[in-house]
Amino acid sequence: MNYVVNAVTQDIHTITLNAKDGANIVLTNAGAAIVALWVPDKERQLGNVVLGYENIEQYLNNDMALGATIGRHAGRIEQAQICINGAQIQLPANEGTHLLHGNFSSLLWNYEIIERADDISVVFTLHSDAGSDGFPGNVDVNVTMTFNEAHELRIDYDALSDAKTVLNLTNHSYFNLSGHPFQPIGDHLLEVKSDYYLELAEDSIPTYAKATRNSSFDFSEPQLLAHLFDKDDVQLTRGGGLDHPFHLLPQQPQIRLVEPHVGRVLTVETSYPFAVIYSGNNIDETAILTEHLQAKKQSAICFETQLAPYSHFKKRFDAELAANQRYHYTTNFRFTTL
């Protein structure tokens, strides 16, 4: 393997990790984001399977969080409020009265490259001061993205805080295995090993658990996404598709996505207990993507592996991180063919 670094501006760089067969991943330190990911189909033709902006500088103003590292909290925090050590803290709301995602995706990250024979890692690092986005605690974050000759992308999340805080990190890549990001994903087959999901309120706040079995959210067997979009289920019609946290069972892989025509397969294995599965319902169709393509709604799907969304209203505290407690989770995206 080898890598190439390109300075888009003095501060914004792209880092391309190249496998020997031509497969590659393009990363940027703007938001510690994935820009492009080229892997072969069953005919060994390379295709880019993630959505990315044509203008790299847009990753610092990334409203859709394309490919970005999300923090301090992935997903929505109800009423933008957390409660730490009995004290209620009001965070800045950025989606109505709620907080969505936080500011990590709009920051420049430091990085270093670790080169090995069969894989290369880019270690993105960030120091987040106490009070950033309203959260307590000085937090140091390492996000290591490793790409190898077997077309696996491993993301390791490590962090440490000097005070009790809330932390929930993820990557927000949008996948379309056809290699043509302007095409809808209705012909993709999705399989998820999950026992329950969290229903959403009208304002998309995750509420309470509901069993996946025998519901519209039962992906224990592969389900065509086109059928999902057509179902008369208030949980699907309310947001135009999926945007729900799924509790994952320990069997590996927990998620499998197949595009049967070109034969690409994505499997996801993670140490996180949840994944928010989002079917691109609110993609901004004015955005210009790589290769000067126009963005389209429901043209990609996200698997945002993470902790349960924090809510002191719903008594969900998994995302609380104690002072000097190590935060460490791993997600592996593996690309193969039928």
Residues forming the active site: 172, 304
3 state DSSP class of 44: coil
Contact 211, 196 (CB under 8 A): yes
Strands 13-18 and 327-337, bridge-based pairing: unpaired
How far apart CA 101 and CA 122 sit, in angstroms, is 23
- Bridge partners (DSSP) of residue 276 are 245, 304
How far apart CA 316 and CA 149 sit, in angstroms, is 39
Torsion of Cα atoms, 292 then 294 then 296 then 300, to 10°: 10
Q: Report the candidate in 162, 118, 125, 167 with the shortest Cα–Cα distance to residue 143.
A: 125
Q: What angle do CA 97, 102, 107 make, to 5 degrees?
A: 145
Q: Which two tokens stand for residue 160?
A: 């440490």
- Bridge partners (DSSP) of residue 154 are 146, 332
Q: Tell me whether residue 196 is exposed, middle or buried, using C-beta atoms within 10 angstroms of its C-beta: 0 to 12, 13 to 18, 19 or more.
A: middle
The reply to whether omega before 253 is within 30° of 0 (cis) is: yes
Alpha carbon of residue 98 to chain centroid: 20
How far apart CA 145 and CA 147 sit, in angstroms, is 7
